[in-house]
Structure 1
């Protein structure tokens, strides 16, 4: 029998890596979306790599009773936003994509212009250059023309703009219902099964 070459051995004998997703949390209102994404991905058995902006930590203190360490504990790996050399800053580190929840207009603008001043925007830029899924849960209203043009720009680059819009056909009864539905729909974009969404025509 012909022996395997070194390359063949590495290809055939390496187990497929666990599905990984990079989770970014920026300073926009709606920190609960990022927290719930981390919780849902853990339930789904997906490995998470978290980066929070400094503004996100400030917003967290205003919106939730959680501490920064509580959010960190919901992720498998955590990176400082200043660590521009972290492994998620390289396309050689294979992931299924990235979701930024919530995504501030500042973060959106950096991604649209490839201004990678922090690990958050750098990791997003990696997703675009390597043609991986990048979902941006943009949180702002109302929107002016600059916002809309920036959204168009990142969409043309390959990102998906997904504002967390309530689905009232699901008849939400609590804020959690509203949050869960948006998070579940975001996970759908990565083909991650979840029970967070009341699906039209299926859940009668």
Structure 2
């Protein structure tokens, strides 16, 4: 399936592991996907802690900076603020084909599970559930409490896909980037976006 012409909503929240979300953004744009992007305020703090990036505060400037950084085509990337209720993602009539929360905090998990819709990220996820569209949740937390597990189960029963950030090692990673790519590849597979970051099980190249 071609990724060109498809739209994916990507939300980064304040969990550790923003590298997953940024790498996913890079791959989605490279694949020709139209991306609606939202960053929570805690996500911006974590980006400053875990990366060397210094991102603009205003959404328009952030959109320009990330578009240039990742080589996005004109109009391919749209960035929305947390309270920008006029954004397409706030309504079922403007919903994307799929949504990924990557990384996802347990606070966001809880808010989505109960339909709080206090921010645009939470509302966008609520829209995906009510419209029966794909919602992927890349939770980054350990250990998991009974509350976290119950919220994950509740969302799974609603049709969301829980994808905790648990990279595998069978591909023999040589760097942190390889571990990040493992998770990003699994997300792309679930989005039906072609990827060459990680071979599918049983199709890996032989060492012989």
Same fold (TM over 0.5): yes
Query: What is the aligned length?
Result: 188
Structure-2 separation of matches of 1:85 and 1:106: 24
Task: Give the conservation status (yes or no) of the 8 Å contact 2:62–2:79.
Answer: no
**TM-score, structure 2 normalization:** 0.86
Task: Give the conservation status (yes or no) of the 8 Å contact 1:33–1:179.
Answer: yes
Q: Which of 1 and 2 has higher RCO (CA within 8 Å, sep 6+)?
A: 2
Structure-2 separation of matches of 1:174 and 1:124: 32
1:64-96 deviations in whole A, cap 9, x for unaligned?
A: 111224974147000001212311111111421
Structure-2 separation of matches of 1:168 and 1:189: 19
* Runs of 5+ consecutive residues of structure 1 not aligned to the other structure: 1-16
- In structure 1, the residue matched to 2:20 is 33
Structure-2 separation of matches of 1:31 and 1:88: 21
Distance 1:105 1:71, change over 3 A: farther
1:5-61 deviations in whole A, cap 9, x for unaligned?
A: xxxxxxxxxxxx921000000000011111011100011110100011111011111
* Runs of 5+ consecutive residues of structure 2 not aligned to the other structure: 68-75
- Root-mean-square deviation over aligned CA pairs: 1.5
- In structure 2, the residue matched to 1:54 is 41
**TM-score, structure 1 normalization:** 0.88
- In structure 2, the residue matched to 1:99 is 100
Q: How many angstroms does 1:155 deviate by?
A: 0.8
